[in-house]
Structure 1
């Protein structure tokens, strides 16, 4: 069923964003990221008490490819 779209104003679109005007069946944004963090980095809450001893975060990645995104265009 066709969509009737009035005037639009687009200020900016980010790198991993999806913009759609009109009808669409499915939208599949493609994005990937790799995050390194040490012990206790992503704790959330009001009363978090973390006791970490000696902690190291290894950032070496010998295989270069972790999650290949192909054939999704």
Structure 2
């Protein structure tokens, strides 16, 4: 059944969002990310005391494409 939609004002759309008006069978937004973190990262909790004198994160990424999302539906 067709949809009748009135006026629509779009303020912003995120990078992996979908904006669609009307009939649709399936929608599937995709996104990818790569995160590098060193020692002491991603700690959560109350009263943390982290002591890292010298911490280095060396990243060698020889391949150019890791999470290909082009053409996925």
Q: Residue 4 of structure 1 corresponds to which residue in structure 2? A: 4
Structure 2 gap ranges (5+): none
* 1:11 match: secondary structure: coil
Matches of 1:49 and 1:61 in 2, distance apart?
32
* 1:69 match: secondary structure: coil
TM-score (norm 1): 0.70
Query: Offset of 1:3 from its aligned partner?
Result: 2.1
Q: Residue 35 of structure 2 corresponds to which residue in structure 1? A: 35
TM-score (norm 2): 0.70
Structure 1 gap ranges (5+): none
Q: Residue 18 of structure 2 corresponds to which residue in structure 1? A: 18
Matches of 1:40 and 1:23 in 2, distance apart?
48
